[in-house]
Amino acid sequence: MSRIARIAIVTAVAAFCVYAFRVWVYAPYACDLMVTDLRNRTATMLDMKDDVAATAMARENLTDLYALRDRCPTEPRAYTMIGATLDRLGRYDEIIPVMQDALKIDRRPEFYVAIGDADVRLGRTDDAAENYATAARFRSNVLEIIQSEEVLRRVQERLRAPR
Amino acid sequence: MLAEGKRGRRRALFLRRRAASAILPPLRKIALFSDRDWTVNAAATLAVAGVALVPFIVAADQIDRFRTIKESAMRTEALLGLLLLTIAATFGDRERLRTLARRRELLGIIAAGIVWISFTTLISTNRLLSVPVLVTWIAAALVFLTVWYGARAIGLVMIDVLVPATVLNTMLAFLQETGRWNPFTVSPRMPMHMRATACLGNPNIVGTFLALNVVILIVAAIEVPGVRRWLYACGAIAGAGGVLFSQTRTAVVGLAAGVVLISIGRSWKRALLLVAGLALALGLALALHMRAVTSLIAVPRAIAQGQLNVVASERVSAALAAIEMTRDRPLTGMGPGTYKYHYMPYIVRVEQRYPPSLVEQSGTNFGETHNDHLQTLAETGVVGYALFLAIVIAIVFTARRVTTLDHARTRLAARVALPLGGTLLVLCLAQFPLQVAVTRELIVSFGALLAGWSEL
C-alpha cells in the first residue's frame, strides 16, 4: 500500500471519529445539559404565582423544549416538560399528539395520564377513561388523581371488564 | 530543477529526523510503557486511563450525574482506540495485529456478537431505542480490541489503578451513607441510603462495581509479591467494606462466589484461609447488623411466607416480564434497549398470568430487568444470550489455558479469569453490570487484558 493511500485511510477514519464524537459522544451529553437547564426553567415556571409572567416564560420555554425533543427524540423528560408547559398555556389539544409521540419511545403511565387529563379538559370523557384505565392497570394509584366522578366511574367499569 | 527538488526533499527529511531525535528520547523517558512499538504503548495508556478515570468522571451539576458522562467517556476511549488501531494497521508494527488475528475463536465470537446486535437492531420492535445500544456495544468491542492490542505493554499498573477507584469510592459512599459529607446536591426528600452514590451511580452500582474490583484485588494480593501485595490487600479490604455498606445483597453473594472460585485449585490451606476470611467478614457484618447481610439471611423466611417479590424489591415481576418477552420472540428478542419500552404492557400481562404473591408490585417503572441474563434474552433472543455466555467462557478458557505460569502477569490472568467470570455471572442474576458504563468499562477492559496477558 502506498504512503498516500495509508494517509488517506487514516484521514478518513479520523474524520469519521470526529463525526462520531459529535453524534454519539457530545450530542447525548448536550441533551443532558439541555434537560437540566429546561427542567429548572419548567419548575420555576410551574411555581410562578403571576399568570402573565408564567405564560410569557412558558412560551419562551416551549420553543427550547421542542428544540430539545427534536435533538433528543429518545429523551422522555422532554415530552413530560412539553406536556406540563402546554398545560400551563391551556393548549390541551396540542398535548395529545406530543404524548402520542412520547408513547413511541416509552410507555410509562404518566404519558397516558397526561393524555387523559387533556381529554378531560377537551370534554372527551370516553377517550379520557380509556387512557386513565390503561395507566391504572399498571399503577392503581392513578385512580386517586381522577377528579371527575363520571370519568372515574367509566375507568372502573373498564378495569372490571374482562380483557 | 530536478536536482533542486531532490535536495529540498532530503533537507526536509533531515529536519524531520532531527526534530524527532530531539523530541522522542525525552518522551520515551517519561513514558509509562516501554514497548518497542509506540502504538502498543499508546493503546496501553488509553486502556489504563479508561479504567482509572471512568470511575471518577461525574457531571456534578446535571440531573444525570453519572451514566451519560461515563458512557460518553467510554465512547471517547473507543473512538481514540479506533483511530489508534487504524494507525497501527497502516503505519505501525503489524506483527502485533497478526498475533491478534491468529486468535480466531475470540475474534469470531466478538464479530458474531456485533453482527447479531446489528441484525437485532435492524429487526427491532423499536429501532429508535435500539440504535444507541448498538453504538454502545460497538464502542465496547473497540475498547476490547484496543486493550487487547496494548495488553503486551500493560503491567500491574492496571491493577494499581483499581486501588484508588475502590478505596476513594468506598470512603465517599461511607460518608454519604452516614450523612457526614456529600459533594453532590441532593433533594432533602431523598432517603439517606439512596444518597450513597459515590462517584458511580446508585448504591446498587456501587456494590456491583466494588465486588468486581475486590475479586481482582484479592487474586492480585495472593499472586503478586512485595509492597504491591499489601497495597492490593488494603484495597480489597476497603472494597469489601464498601460492598457491605452499599447494602447490595447481590454484590455480597457475587463477592462470596468470587472468593469460593478463587479458592478452587489452590492448596487446601489457602482455600481454607480464604473461606474462613469470608465467613469471618460475614459474621462480623451480621454482628454489626449490616443490612446487606441481615436482609440476605431474611430471604429464605420471606420466600417461605410467599413474599418473594417483596424481598426481591419487585424484581420477580420485572424478570417475569422479560421471560414473557422472550416467549414472544425467542430467537431474535424484542431488540436491544427495548425492555423499558415493552415493560408496561408486559407487566400487566404478568399480573394476569401469575399469582399475586409473586407479582404484586407498586407500579415502579423498571428501565432495566435487574437481571442481565434475562434482559439479554428478552432483547437479543437466545442467540444473543448464547453469544454473551460464549464471550465470557471463551475469555475464561483463553486465560486459563496457558502453557506456562512462569510469567507473573500470565499467572495472574489465569488465576483471576474464573473468579471474575463467575462473579460477573452471579451479579448479572439480580443487577445490571452490562447496562452501566462504569462496570462495562471494567468488565470489557479486564476481559481484554486477561486475553492479552495469557499470550505473554
Strand locations in B318-437, DSSP E? Answer: none
pLDDT at B406: 64
Is B352 an 8 Å CB contact of chain A?
A: yes
Predicted model pTM: 0.90
In a domain, A152, yes or no: yes
Report the C-alpha gap between A110 and B278 in whole angstroms: 45
High-pLDDT (> 90) share of chain B, %: 59
Span B255-283, pLDDT tens digits: 999 999 998 877 778 788 888 888 888 88
Would you say residue A58 has pLDDT above 80? Answer: yes
Q: What value does the mean pLDDT take over residues A55-70?
A: 94
Chain A residue numbers with beta carbons less than 8 Å from the beta carbon of B75 are 20-21, 24-25
Counted across chains A and B, CB pairs separated by less than 8 A come out at: 87
Closest CB from B71, B86, B348 relative to A10: B86
CA B62 to each of CA A35, B45, B173, B177, B186: distance values in angstroms, whole numbers, following the listed order: 8, 29, 19, 21, 11
In a domain, A58, yes or no: no
In a domain, A104, yes or no: yes
Would you say residue B247 has pLDDT above 90? Answer: no
Closest CB from A25, A137, A140 relative to B72: A25
In a domain, A21, yes or no: no
Span B74-102, pLDDT tens digits: 999 999 999 999 999 998 778 888 888 88
Instruction: Give the ipTM.
Output: 0.91
**With an 8 Å Cβ cutoff, are B128 and A106 in contact?**
no
User: Do the beta carbons of residue B253 and residue B428 sit within 8 Å?
Assistant: no
In a domain, A20, yes or no: no
Would you say residue B355 has pLDDT above 80? Answer: yes
Q: Which of B211, B235, B73 is nearest to B162 (CA)?
A: B235
Which of B54, B70, B334, B344 is the best substitution to test chain A (most A C-beta atoms within 10 A)? B344
**With an 8 Å Cβ cutoff, are B83 and A10 in contact?**
yes
In a domain, A30, yes or no: no
Chain A residue numbers with beta carbons less than 8 Å from the beta carbon of B90 are 1, 6, 9-10
Would you say residue B1 has pLDDT above 60? Answer: no
Report the C-alpha gap between A52 and B179 in whole angstroms: 42
Is B67 an 8 Å CB contact of chain A?
A: no
What is the amino acid identity at position B193?
A: H
Would you say residue A162 has pLDDT above 80? Answer: no
Nearest-Cα residue of chain B relative to residue A21: B76
A49-53, A63-67, B11-15: lowest mean pLDDT where? Answer: B11-15
How is residue B355 annotated by DSSP? -
Query: Binning pLDDT at 50, 70 and 90, where does residue B251 land?
Result: very high
**With an 8 Å Cβ cutoff, are B63 and A32 in contact?**
yes
Would you say residue B348 has pLDDT above 80? Answer: yes
- Domain containing A146 equals 96-163
Is B126 an 8 Å CB contact of chain A?
A: yes
Residues 6+ apart with CB under 8 A from A155: A129, A132, A133, A136, A143, A146
Is B187 an 8 Å CB contact of chain A?
A: no
Count up the domains in chain A and report the number: 1
**With an 8 Å Cβ cutoff, are A33 and B344 in contact?**
no
| Higher pLDDT pick, B295 / A29 | A29
Residues 6+ apart with CB under 8 A from B365: A108, A109, B340, B343, B344
Closest CB from B63, B344, B348 relative to A35: B63
Query: Binning pLDDT at 50, 70 and 90, where does residue A15 land?
Result: very high
Chain A residue numbers with beta carbons less than 8 Å from the beta carbon of B342 are 107
Is B291 an 8 Å CB contact of chain A?
A: no
Span A76-106, pLDDT tens digits: 999 999 999 999 999 999 999 999 999 999 9
In a domain, A142, yes or no: yes
pLDDT at B125: 96
Span B336-347, pLDDT tens digits: 999 999 998 898
Span B6-52, pLDDT tens digits: 677 777 767 766 665 555 555 554 456 777 788 999 999 999 999 99
pLDDT at B30: 46
